Amino acid sequence: MARVVLAAMLLLLPLATAAVPEDRAGIAVIVHPSRTTTLSSDLLGQIYLRRKRFWDDGTPIVPLNLAGGSPVRAAFTDAVLRQSERVLADYWNRQYFYGILPPATLASTEAVLRYVASEPNAIGYVPASAVDGSVAILLRIE
């Protein structure tokens, strides 16, 4: 029994240590490298509440969320939207009746990186330590 517990702890250790650098590095709001624009935190909030739905060039903005329960999503929601999950759920329930859907949710940081790298209209957020050369950082949230 002790070996099973020890083996489980050793398997989970890399997951625990991997979360520390991401938390300290902050959150990077990312876009396709071809997208050249500036964005304030307030305007980013408007995009994620679907109140601003088009880029300045007229193309639709495709905002992406990480999965619910993700620590990065919780930090992003606190920093940018400044609303609790319950308040946001009520907001999206009301918006649904107007035909406005919340941002798409992707399962992982890697999925957000791949989607944003391949879609010029997408915007997403990931741990800053995960950003590679396939995307551009639009805004950094500490």
Q: Which tens digits make up the pLDDT trace of 38-57?
A: 899 999 999 999 999 999 99
Return the closest-CA partner of residue 66 out of 103, 119, 108: 108
CA-CA-CA-CA dihedral for 58, 29, 75, 50, to nearest 10? 0
How much is the pLDDT for 142?
A: 86
Residues of the chain with pLDDT under 50: 1-22
Distance CA(71)–CA(74), nearest Å, equals 5
Domains with residue ranges and CATH for the chain = 24-141 (3.40.190.10)
How much is the pLDDT for 13?
A: 40
How much is the pLDDT for 5?
A: 35
Tokens standing for residue 131: 């950003």
pLDDT digits (tens, 9 = 90+) for 107-120: 999 999 999 999 99
